[in-house]
Structure 1
Amino acid sequence: MIDRVKSALLVNNFKFPPLKITVNLSPSEISKKGTHFDLAIALQIALFDEQKLKFDDFYFFGELALDGSIKDTTLIFPMVLSLVKQGLLKKVVVCENSAIKLSNIPNIEIYVVNNLNSAIEFVKTENKERFLYKKEILEYKTIELNGEKYFYDTNYTEDFRYVLGQDMAKYAAMICTAGNHNLIMEGSPGCGKSMIAKRLQYILAPMSLEEILEKAKLQALDFKDVDFYPIRAFRSPHHTATKSSILGGTNSKMGEVALSNNGILFFDELPHFPSNIIEALREPLEDNKILISRVNSKVLYETKFIFVSALNPCPCGNRLSSVKECRCNELEIQRYKNRLSEPFLDRIDLYLVMNDSFNDNKNIVSSAELHESVIKAFIKQKSRGQKELNGKLSDEDIKKYCILDDESKEILEKARINYSLSFRSINKVLKVARTIADLNNNDIITKSDLLKSLNFRRR
């Protein structure tokens, strides 16, 4: 860092005084690293004797090349976004590449300087308006509800029209995306489980600007190219992934559960994941957050993802097949099933058993049609004043929004006794029934809505 700053200053005709230079990055107890400090350090050195200059209102971020040009870094966007959310930053000075990303953040002024000389000129001049960057506006389809805009896209890279048969699975997929419900699909290899899972992200609910910025921040922290598309994240770790890569590791590094926030976390071949990873998912699935504790730090991450997984009915996969014979004995099947504990399965909203029949291809439904239904259900939920979609409702909100008619109350009580439903299971049933009611445009949960919800419970 020091060599880059020194080279940039020398190239721009700065003469170092015969003094020792000490740079203080406060507070000292917090570990700091990154090339985004270069520009601020260079300006402090270049302007150390300019006592009249004051630029406390401005934040400077940028990496310096050896010739004094300013570059973008992956950490600038998440840092600026975090400072804006805390109300600490209103004016920022960066290079043009950084400004393009930052322009989507509301309530800040962005000034562009592309080299060190330009930055020095910016500090010294009184006419700073000529450095002001014109902010861009996201150009996607929008819905405005309760004074807030929600964005969505209608380019379906993976379309449900190519999923043959599986009408019940498509219906479950629509419920899953309309209410942010966790989904497990059980079926023989090749019946369409993974195919359906990969299409879910394109029919998810519209995104608020805050959610789009959060997704971009997570992309930057994962060292990926930042985009501002209103398509939610889809993370699909392999079953050989380590526990730290999924839950978070050393130095409180983000894992897959945090990187999939507001999106989908997909586990293919679920029983092949180590049991300690599966059981560790219980907390983020229940509380929608995860605390990563290490010796020197504790970091809390939001985990409001939709958990989607696929599994075979037995080790060989042919137990539900209509054309192949299962080679597993009962002990092997039971051992395979026991890899998933009851407390974990209790956190799953929708459990679907799929067949391998593709004879019924008449009811072809496209992603556009499914997405339209999801958006209508989304509007209904937000119009009720819900901050969260049905799948993430708190216990208090369940009582407020999941209202049953008299006949449905009797059915739910019978189901509780006959199926030995836990308190959590009852809440899951109610939340799924609320989403089904929204898809049917019902103000309260009817008998039909509740029965459909109970049909998706694991038996």
Structure 2
Amino acid sequence: MVNKIFCATRSGTSAKIVEVEVTFARALPAFIISGLANNSIQEAKQRIHSALQNNNFTFPPLKIVVNLSPSDLPKSGSHFDLPIALLIVLQKENFTPQKWFAFGELGLDGKIRHNDNIYPLLLDIALLCPQANVIVPKGGKKLFSPIPNLNFFYADDINEALEFIKQESPTPETYAEELKFPSFKINDETYYYHNEFELDFSEVKGQDIAKRAALIAASGFHNLILEGSPGCGKSMIAKRLKYILPPLTLKEMIETVKIQTLGNHSAFYTPLRSFRNPHQSASKSSILGSATQNEPKPGEIALAHNGILFFDELPLFKKEILESLREPLENNQLVVSRVQSKIEYDTSFLFIGAQNPCPCGNLLSLTKTCRCQDKEIKTYKNKLSEPFMDRIDLFVQMSETKENSKSSISSKQMQEEVFKAFKMQILRGQTHLNGKLNEKEIDRFCVLDEDTRNLLDQAINRFSLSERSIHKIKKISRTIADLEGSDHIEKPHLLEALSYRRI
């Protein structure tokens, strides 16, 4: 019988499960590792040999062949040390290998060391193999213990790891079945949310139309552009949006943590969606990310997945960056292709742009005079192409705030409205929020009656709306109907959706 212990390696942005198996043959002593193992795994031979000798284990004088399956998948990482060493020690013993994963780098003294590559791998294992038994370094206990659906066994050295495997019914040290966040259930699926508001919409004075548009954008993940004079509250609204977004499933939370970890950011489980706010001087590679054969580097677009991507001073971004947003905004996916690799990133984010009406910013001001010439204003606005603007759902011009303006709604109230619309979407059978529906789902969930359809036809003829614009109007109307608690899209919902279009 060939014993096996499972491990994993990084392939693109996802983890691939690897079977580690060892055979022993009577031949000249040799130690061979096969299965497209890179140098970090090949060097494990010396580490394992020393670790076993320093812990009074006899290294067998046999031909040892370690195979990492599937053999055509390139593998990397020093965390393969532990499963290989365990299988060598257990050469004459039988155990239940299908239940065991092992991750850890071995020191020469047999200590199991934590490796930063382990954490994102475990996030995928939690989805691919729930309830699996996993041996990990004790040094990563604080980081690993919140990961749900895995039975964790923490070992300080190889002897402790052996004790766990030899037990018939081992008891895990940590097992997080449910995350300790506020949540609710719909159709047996748990949704987690954040109920603390560090930035509150009650602090935004006036701007009722913009806040209404922000509420619609949050409820359906509709892309939004806010235009107005400096200081009217564009950035304030954008930064408060993340606190009222729809709740997250466990899978979405794991996806968010994983992509943040791949981007070399410290990330822990939180139901607060990500908020990315790159500066307009950012390079194209920092926005789009890069692709190497073994180490993906996600950019701001990928890091914003399931969250918000906010471009302040939108026209000041390089035109090639703005045009590169067209694919991820349309397909919710970004493909980064290079000579040696091609990596796909999910990009289902809410895009928010903020811009001034002109280079000096005073074109819409009631108290200041615009200093820009018509040519300058035209050049400024032409930085946003029609194909790019056609991918924007909501466009709002904000006026200056009056001194006696009052706050009309708080973030808590807006979150309750978003949750009401979210529950209607889920109970309707949708797997995506309204703003991310494809053509077939639009035909299914955004049905118009005859009168509403006639009204839309009039708008199409009057404003020469593209097919993409028509779909977006339908999706916005569906979200407005959800906010109003209506099962059907009615004329007032469609009229409000049309009022947010940039004609």
User: TM over 0.5, yes or no?
Assistant: yes
Would you say the 8 A contact 1:103–1:136 is kept in 2? Answer: no
Picking from 286, 292, 310, the partner of 1:245 is 286
TM-score, normalisation: structure 1: 0.91
Q: Which residue of 2 aligns with 1:375?
A: 419
Would you say the 8 A contact 1:160–1:199 is kept in 2? Answer: yes
Q: Which residue of 2 aligns with 1:35?
A: 78
Distance apart, 1:212 and its partner CA: 1.2
TM-aligned CA distance change 1:363 to 1:36, over 3 Å: same
TM-score, normalisation: structure 2: 0.84
Quick check: which one's strand share is greater? Answer: 2
Q: Which residue of 2 aligns with 1:95?
A: 137
Whole-Å separation in 1 of the counterparts to 2:427 and 2:291: 42
Whole-Å separation in 1 of the counterparts to 2:408 and 2:338: 51
Q: Which residue of 1 aligns with 2:497?
A: 453
Whole-Å separation in 1 of the counterparts to 2:382 and 2:345: 30
TM-aligned CA distance change 1:122 to 1:305, over 3 Å: same
Larger deviation, residues 229-238 vs 417-426? 229-238
The gaps in structure 2 that reach 5 residues or longer are 1-39
CA offsets per residue over residues 160-187 of structure 1, 9 Å max, x none? 1111111111111110101110011111
Distance apart, 1:44 and its partner CA: 4.2
Q: Does 1:402 align with 2:446?
A: yes
Q: Does 1:435 align with 2:479?
A: yes
Q: Which residue of 2 aligns with 1:158?
A: 199
Whichever residue aligns with residue 384 of structure 1, its letter is R
Q: Any idea what SS the aligned residue of 1:457 has?
A: coil
Would you say the 8 A contact 2:218–2:245 is kept in 1? Answer: yes
CA offsets per residue over residues 179-222 of structure 1, 9 Å max, x none? 11001111112111111111111100011111111112122212
Distance apart, 1:132 and its partner CA: 4.7
Q: Which residue of 2 aligns with 1:327?
A: 371
> RMSD of aligned C-alpha atoms?
2.5
Picking from 237, 243, 252, the partner of 1:196 is 237
Q: Percent of counterpart pairs with the same letter? A: 48
Whichever residue aligns with residue 334 of structure 1, its letter is K
Tell me how many residue pairs correspond in the alignment.
Answer: 456
Larger deviation, residues 197-206 vs 26-35? 26-35
Distance apart, 1:109 and its partner CA: 3.1
Distance apart, 1:397 and its partner CA: 1.4
Matches within 5 A, 1:1-400: 2=43, 5=48, 8-9=51-52, 11-14=54-57, 25-26=68-69, 30-45=73-88, 47=89, 50-54=91-95, 56-57=97-98, 58-65=100-107, 68-87=110-129, 90-96=132-138, 98=140, 101-102=143-144, 107-123=149-165, 125-251=166-292, 252-400=296-444
Larger deviation, residues 4-13 vs 422-431? 4-13
TM-aligned CA distance change 1:444 to 1:55, over 3 Å: same
TM-aligned CA distance change 1:359 to 1:436, over 3 Å: farther
Whichever residue aligns with residue 119 of structure 1, its letter is A
Would you say the 8 A contact 2:291–2:343 is kept in 1? Answer: no
TM-aligned CA distance change 1:118 to 1:325, over 3 Å: same
Would you say the 8 A contact 2:149–2:177 is kept in 1? Answer: no
Distance apart, 1:111 and its partner CA: 2.5
Would you say the 8 A contact 1:166–1:358 is kept in 2? Answer: no
Larger deviation, residues 395-404 vs 329-338? 395-404
Larger deviation, residues 212-221 vs 132-141? 132-141
Whole-Å separation in 1 of the counterparts to 2:270 and 2:130: 27
CA offsets per residue over residues 321-347 of structure 1, 9 Å max, x none? 222221111111111111111011001
CA offsets per residue over residues 249-284 of structure 1, 9 Å max, x none? 131422221121111111111111111111111111
Would you say the 8 A contact 2:150–2:176 is kept in 1? Answer: no
Whole-Å separation in 2 of the counterparts to 1:71 and 1:188: 55
Distance apart, 1:435 and its partner CA: 0.7
Would you say the 8 A contact 2:291–2:337 is kept in 1? Answer: no
Q: Which residue of 1 aligns with 2:11?
A: none
TM-aligned CA distance change 1:452 to 1:361, over 3 Å: same
Whole-Å separation in 1 of the counterparts to 2:140 and 2:368: 56
Whichever residue aligns with residue 40 of structure 1, its letter is P
Would you say the 8 A contact 1:246–1:255 is kept in 2? Answer: yes
TM-aligned CA distance change 1:4 to 1:332, over 3 Å: farther
Q: Any idea what SS the aligned residue of 2:153 has?
A: strand
Distance apart, 1:415 and its partner CA: 0.7
Whole-Å separation in 2 of the counterparts to 1:358 and 1:115: 67
CA offsets per residue over residues 371-419 of structure 1, 9 Å max, x none? 0111111111111111111101111111121122333222211110111
Q: Any idea what SS the aligned residue of 1:203 has?
A: coil
Distance apart, 1:157 and its partner CA: 1.4
Would you say the 8 A contact 1:247–1:257 is kept in 2? Answer: yes
Would you say the 8 A contact 1:212–1:228 is kept in 2? Answer: yes
Whichever residue aligns with residue 82 of structure 2, its letter is L
Whole-Å separation in 1 of the counterparts to 2:139 and 2:202: 39
Whichever residue aligns with residue 418 of structure 2, its letter is V
